[in-house]
Structure 1
């Protein structure tokens, strides 16, 4: 009876649901970048500061969730997939929230102004990056179903399609980034050089949001391959 209860307790602490909750929290932080960017473009720095603090709060919550998952993650004997693979997947998820905090923190700290000539492109670029993080959440939400079906059958095909869509969104984001960089290059002589440097950094970090989300899909695909 003691052995049965111990095993039951270990499976009651299955990490898959907490990992799904963690990436949802990370994505929630990323989604806040849209109203933050709109506030920054309107030079409403009070509102931008409020949203930035919300992003920090969400990122801190994601960090707490990450630590809890790490502390309670069972050994390989009690997991259907290698423990190190789950830890690496968790690390990729966490970088989504971290990057969202980086973007808001830098823009608010410098009170960065996005040139009017590229504001629409920046918002479209950010929208696609956030859509990519949303798709990573959708894909990872199938993890428990994958486990339940033993990584076989229809569920595998479904997840493969979700990952393919994730890859396509990231590729679209890459193309938007290329065009946005060209647009900034065309006007950069009109701007202060230091402002141009930080604008390129923000563009790079927004693109990194989509990259991190795609990496989540990549780690999930590795689990499928096993």
Structure 2
């Protein structure tokens, strides 16, 4: 059996550039945080599942009524599909999402005594949960920096900043993790998302007012 090749070392200059980018973003967005409103791990899990192909703003408009009627995993697990579908219809793909959040709630009740699990392996066993959702929950509800959340903003900015050349979320996450200290992984996503919404937009980035311009290899030219 061949020994797998050792990972390519990250050039020191690149790690320093990544550090500068992080510090500038941290200074620019001191209040960056998870945009999905939640009071506990269960609410964050459900909100994150609902956020697929939907804006965080729309999810935040939808979840108060949902959590008022189903405040716990047990309550959601005992719900009727049609009732849940009606409440989350505006988030899109509501039938599949209702099936996922009800299934996740049932699994939490059946196998975790009604408490959202706090490990990657167990979260990935929940219906509707992939690595991105698990990273969101672990990082924001349990303060565990297990990985980097990669959404459309993180994908776009990571490519523009030259931190990756990939479009696949897992490969982007793999490229970002060695560039930044583990303690910063969760906040890194928040900072990139805030910057993507405010400045580094998809169609018309505001390069003239970007604090990262000196460290951007694209020199403000969108990719």
Q: TM-score, structure 1 length as denominator?
A: 0.23
**Bigger Rg, structure 1 or 2:** 1
Query: Taking structure 2 as the reference length, what is the TM-score of the superposition?
Result: 0.23
